[in-house]
Amino acid sequence: MALSFASGRGARRRRMLYKYFNAAHSPRTHTNEHGAVFAATDVLTAEAQGTPRKRRGRFRSLSAIVLAVFLALCVNQAEGQAVGEVLPRWAPGTLDIHRISTGRGDAVLYIFPDGTAMLVDPGAETEGPRVTRQRPDASRSPGEWVVRYVQHVLPHPSESALDYALLTHFHADHMGGLVSSSPPSRSGQFKLSGITEVGEHIRIRKMLDRAWPDYNSPVPLTDPMVKNYQAFLAWQIRHNGMRVERFQPGRNDQIVMLHAPRDYPQFEVRNVAASGEIWTGVGTATRQHFPPVEEAPPKGRPTENDCSIVFRIRYGNFDYFAGGDLPGGEDDGAPSWHDVETPVAKVVGPVDVNVLNHHGSADAENEFFVRTLRPRVHVFSAWSTSHPDACVLRRLLSTRLYPGARDIFATNMSDANKLVVPELSKLKSDQGHIVIRVAEGGDTYRIMILDDSAETYRIIAVHGPYESR
């Protein structure tokens, strides 16, 4: 049976294996009942009988190596996270973060330590020359693929519901774009793409976004995609018991564990920013970073990316940053408040894992931000030939900005970008679903890459364990 790294059973199994290891080097080895481990040792020990001291020593080292290899395999098996295997199911106490590779935007499923599930930004960018190919393929819509992935990994399949869904901002790659062929919902009240398609098939208990209920802040949202989403919300509230809330920066009690929160007091989701309102780092206080909208010329108003929802997840020593398509300023004479990364970095501080803002586009991951967060791991969803930008990648790799190792993982790198940016060969992975599995308590985490060419859920690479800092 596959056991999770985080589970107590896994730890017990490891302790038992280490006990075997020690026993194998004691004179009473052969009297032990654990045949599988000792068959090899017995042969080596028997061969070693009566040999000169030097040879015996060599046999002992060989036996130690054989055992070490065997035990390493056993431990890996016990943790169930070996290359070639199907991803072991989430286990209580573990924090799982699945960055689902669709080739068409974001889609991130969080399973908190008590099994509370949250889906963020199930996007569906529409066709275009710079858009990457769909994963696994184009036989289904991105929303359908996300539904099937989520249904496969949800910890409570009998209930098959998401406790939370959240949109960081209202762009197609984060919520689902509409085209003339977008299918209607069963009710006929709205069209299906991205979030509305997920909600059609999986019950969403609570929906969070940055602009509920009036969708007028900081400027009125008139996009047909947002109108369609509003029709979806209205239908879900009336017929499916959905609750909707505006994401409130500063709070650490809006997104909470719902099943066994007392078992994991070291877990927290901190709302950091939305629509330019940024947490100060003191209590739940916030301040508005944008100037009054009336003072800005129509073209100088906050953009949808500027308004992205930002949150930080903390689990013991593990810190994780996610900030949608937040910009860090542009060098084109734009007002300085378009840099939202800098004030956000000041309250977030260093993290273990950073989700690249704006998929690593040219306006994101500014120097101050990279230097302040100094992550061990960067992850992002790539769906365009510009993800990531070459200068951004140089900053991420720069040991002048911060010292030490760092690993970068992308879901679906375009071949065109690989041709233009040779440094992309330094990525740890550029294709596949990215699963961050944080062990119980948050001290360590692993990153597993899953095959995204079909629904195999098979592990193609394991990185770590990393120590949380």
Nearer residue to Zn ion within complex by CB, 319 or 325: 325
Q: What are phi and psi of 362, to 5 degrees?
A: -60, -25
**Per-position x/- string for 71-110, each x denoting binding to Zn ion as judged by CB under 5 A, each - no binding:** ----------------------------------------
Minimum CB separation from Zn ion for residue 169, in Å?
8
Of 304 and 430, CB closest to Zn ion: 304
| Tokens 């710079």, located at residue | 130
CA distances, 359 to each of 201, 222, 383, 441 (Å): 28, 25, 8, 29
**Inter-residue contact 147 to 201 (CB < 8 Å):** yes
Token digits of residue 130: 């710079």
Report the distance separating Cα 42 and Cα 300, nearest Å.
Answer: 77
Instruction: Report in angstroms how near the CB of residue 307 gets to Zn ion at its nearest.
Output: 13
Site membership for Zn ion, residue 365 (CB under 5 A): no
Q: 448-467 mask for Zn ion (x: CB under 5 A)?
A: --------------------
CB of 171 to Zn ion, least distance (A): 6
Which CB sits closer to Zn ion, 114 or 325?
325
Please say which residue, 79 or 325, places its beta carbon nearer to Zn ion. Answer: 325
Give the containing element (helix H, strand E) for 108.
strand 108-111
Q: CB-wise, 24 or 109, nearer to Zn ion?
A: 109
Q: Which of 466, 443, 447, 465 is nearest to 317 (CA)?
A: 443
Minimum gap (Å) between residue 325 Cβ and Zn ion? 4
Choice between 289 and 387, CB closer to Zn ion? 387
Q: What are the Cα distances from residue 394, in Å, to 63, 357, 362, 397, 428?
A: 46, 15, 11, 5, 15
Interface mask (CB under 5 A) for Zn ion, residues 290-329, using x and -? -----------------------------------x----
Give dist(CA 457, CA 435) in Å, integer: 10
Please report how close the Cβ of residue 433 comes to Zn ion at its closest, in angstroms.
18
C-alpha 409/C-alpha 452 separation (Å) is 14
| String marking each residue 325-354 x if it binds Zn ion according to CB under 5 A | x-----------------------------
**CA separation for the pair 108, 106 (Å, rounded):** 6
Nearest distance in Å: CB 168, Zn ion:
8
- What residues numbered 134-173 form the site for Zn ion, per CB under 5 A? 173
Instruction: Compare residues 109 and 124 and give the one whose CB is closer to Zn ion.
Output: 124
CB of 147 to Zn ion, least distance (A): 20
Output 325 or 389, the one with its CB closest to Zn ion: 325
What is the spatial distance between Cα 300 and Cα 335, in angstroms, rounded to a whole number? Answer: 8
**How many C-beta atoms lie closer than 10 Å to residue 224's C-beta?**
10
Distances (CA, A) of 456 to 103, 142, 152, 322, 460: 17, 17, 11, 27, 11
**Starting from the edge strand earliest in sequence, which strands make up the sheet with 161-166, in order?**
243-246, 203-209, 161-166, 117-120, 108-111, 95-99, 433-438, 444-450, 459-467
- DSSP assigned state of 218: S
For Zn ion, how many residues bind (rule: CB under 5 A)? 2
Mode of pairing for the β-strands spanning 444-450 and 95-99: unpaired
Minimum CB distance to Zn ion, residue 142 (Å): 13
Cβ proximity to Zn ion: between 91 and 109 the closer is 109
Min CB(111)–Zn ion separation in Å: 23
Binding residues for Zn ion, rule: CB under 5 A, are 173, 325
